[in-house]
Amino acid sequence: LETYNADSKLQQLLSYIIDMEGDYLGDHMFIPFGCDFSFANARTNFEQMDLIIEYFNRHNNQNITTFYSTPQAYIDALYDQNITWPTKYEDMFPYSDNNVDPW
């Protein structure tokens, strides 16, 4: 991340957060970082993410703070908010791997 594209990265992350916020209950959002084989050069990935997080927290004009966390810390933060979660009664078992291959 160079400073020449920091504003566009900030806007991309902010747009993602705003798009996703309706799908979350509470004041916290969990955004996974990376995927299989994405950390072959972990040092570079984390250095870049450090810059994005720092720049975002300094320059976004929303009341949003980004930081590294863990699944446990995220669950604990949700628990502390005493959120009443909806109950799903529908069948959640997947009967197909995709739209054209039921099994």
- Summarised one tens digit per residue, pLDDT across range 60-85 is 999 999 999 999 999 999 999 999 99
Token duo for residue 18: 């705003």
Nearest of 21, 44, 24, 25 to residue 34 by alpha carbon: 44
Report residue 3's pLDDT band, with 50, 70 and 90 as the boundaries.
Answer: low
Query: Residue 42 and residue 77: Cα distance in Å, rounded?
Result: 27
Q: What integer best gives the mean pLDDT of the chain? A: 88
Give me the mean pLDDT over the 17-45 stretch. 88
96 pairs with which residues across the strands?
A: 102
Cβ proximity of 78 and 26 under 8 Å: yes
- Only one residue has tokens 């050069």, namely 41
What is the model's pLDDT at position 93?
75
pTM of the predicted protein model: 0.75
